[in-house]
Chains A and B, each alone.
Chain A
């Protein structure tokens, strides 16, 4: 067994999954791979079964992206991995970048290292509505924690064993867990840093943040969760 596990939650990613596997095998060979099939309706599972050098979990019902991630964290905690790299199965993340992020995490000894798309010279484009939402979350995060968070929805993250243990045992793990969860971890004393990465625009399938209702709902939820975590903090409530 290796020290680091890449967890890849997948839902109907039949078109992208083989490329992701090839990319990771080639450019991040020092990591084990765990696919988490979130009850896909296409032949994603059959394709994952064919990846002989990778492991997979098969969720018997659709739990959603973040609970799929948590399943992977539970696996990592059970098997005793030192680091987990969260990697999206839609082909947006690049294995070489994930590897670079992992090496940075090792060097900087972070608990959570977030791969951020927003830095100068970044070619990453965003719709205006989404950019505004991101700006609002960023601003609130900074107000409430005093720390900078440039890419609150980045799925490319490296977690330490300490963070893995904490997150795999969290009761009431939020079903939408971005800036709110990072805030909680920050308040609990985990070391959270950011590092620039290059990401690819998705070319197959739909982003989970597409449409109009979706992002608005997401924003409302995120603002509520963040306020909640902050109130827990200032009221000194500790739910374990």
Chain B
């Protein structure tokens, strides 16, 4: 039991450190790190106080407490992954708009240059 607790605390800490470092090195934006930091903090807290899970399981009527842990972590990952899909969709849309507008601008520039050449 103590071994498992130690492992969880260490995992939470390591994750937090990794996220922190990634933000510092500009590999992850502050905004994107929020959900991940919350996840890492959750792991850390559960490592420190495993009783929380047992208490919560009793609260919602789950007999086998560890299954709540799986449920929560799956729900969290699902949320995170959906969040990523939303961000990717926004990026794709913006990227498409950029490529299209760039092509339109390039065409206008070409026309302007042609006109300039004809004037000279």
Contacts and interface: CB of A to CB of B under 8 A. Distances in A.
Interface of A: 36, 55-61, 63, 67, 70-71, 74-75, 78, 171-172
Interface string B77-120: 00000000000000001011001111110110000000000000
B93 A71 contact: no
Contacts of B102: 60
Interface residues of B, number: 11
> Which label, helix, strand, loop or mixed, suits the secondary structure of the A interface?
mixed
B107 A74 contact: no
A56 B106 CA distance: 10
Given A171-B93, A172-B93, A70 B107 contact: no
Contacts of A70: 100
A183 to B, nearest CB: 21
The 6 closest A-B pairs by CB, nearest first: A57-B103, A71-B100, A59-B103, A61-B99, A57-B107, A59-B99
B107 A56 contact: yes
> Which label, helix, strand, loop or mixed, suits the secondary structure of the B interface?
helix
B96 A60 contact: no
Given A57-B103, A57-B106, 6 more contacts: A36-B103, A57-B107, A59-B103, A61-B99, A71-B103, A75-B104
